[in-house]
Amino acid sequence: MRASGVWKLYASGTSTVEAVRGVNVSLGAGEMVAIMGPSGCGKTTLLNVLSGIDVPSAGDVNVNGLPLFGISDNERTTMRSKHLGFIFQDFNLLPVLSAVENVELPLLLLGTSANEARTRALEALNDVGLGDRSQHRPAELSGGQQQRVAIARAIVHRPAVVLCDEPTGNLDSRTSTEVLTLLKRINLEHQTAFLIVTHDSIIADLCDRILYMEDGLIVKDSLRSEEE
């Protein structure tokens, strides 16, 4: 993933808020990168632009060498579905679907056959340690288990990049550690790139690089080894 000269402006009354200001970001295959900074500095806005949820006011975003913007809405939806995975603080699982049905949904939307989608969804649940909970609905699962289902859903289509917004924000410390260990294992075993917005220094400790944001700008891009 590569972003060049990304700006995001919002109108606020008679003034304009510069939420993201000319940001350049690159994320290589298999990299795990944290975005840190104070609340309101533009971290989540930047993540929303990089994920295609928001359209930038200026700048370009490319994923696997393909443009995410300057294309039709349908083309962007297809791009996001094929190349990106998403993990949120609030899990965002569909409550009426079982764990395996939640996980297979991205594949079905891409046109994968029902049999193959089910097989791959079960494999993904096994990969996150929830093979025995495949038929449980979200309400029947703990918070940590729900986040594991969300992780399985994020990786089932083998995306190039998984974008995470405070993935441990709703979890207790022990469960957070388990989830972080799982994310790192997936990163190493599958060479999946992760870009993680977080306030948690423990997450940052697991990452290869840390991007620090202030007032819509990336003010520091440091290798983890430089922090130690």
> Mean pLDDT score of the chain, rounded to an integer?
93
- When mean pLDDT is compared across 9-13, 22-26, 193-197, 208-212, the lowest value belongs to 9-13
CA atoms of 13 and 149, how far apart (whole Å) = 41
- Cβ count near 143 (within 10 Å): 16
- Note the pLDDT tens digit of each residue in 128-159: 999 999 999 999 999 999 999 999 999 999 99
pLDDT in tens, 27-83: 999 999 999 999 999 999 999 999 999 999 999 999 988 999 999 999 999 999 999
CATH number for the domain including 206?
3.40.50.300
Give the torsion sign (CA, 65, 66, 67, 70): positive
pTM of the entire structure? 0.92
- Number of domains composing the chain: 1
- Host domain of residue 143: 2-227
Q: How far is CA 68 from CA 26, 60, 71, 147, in A?
A: 14, 8, 7, 27
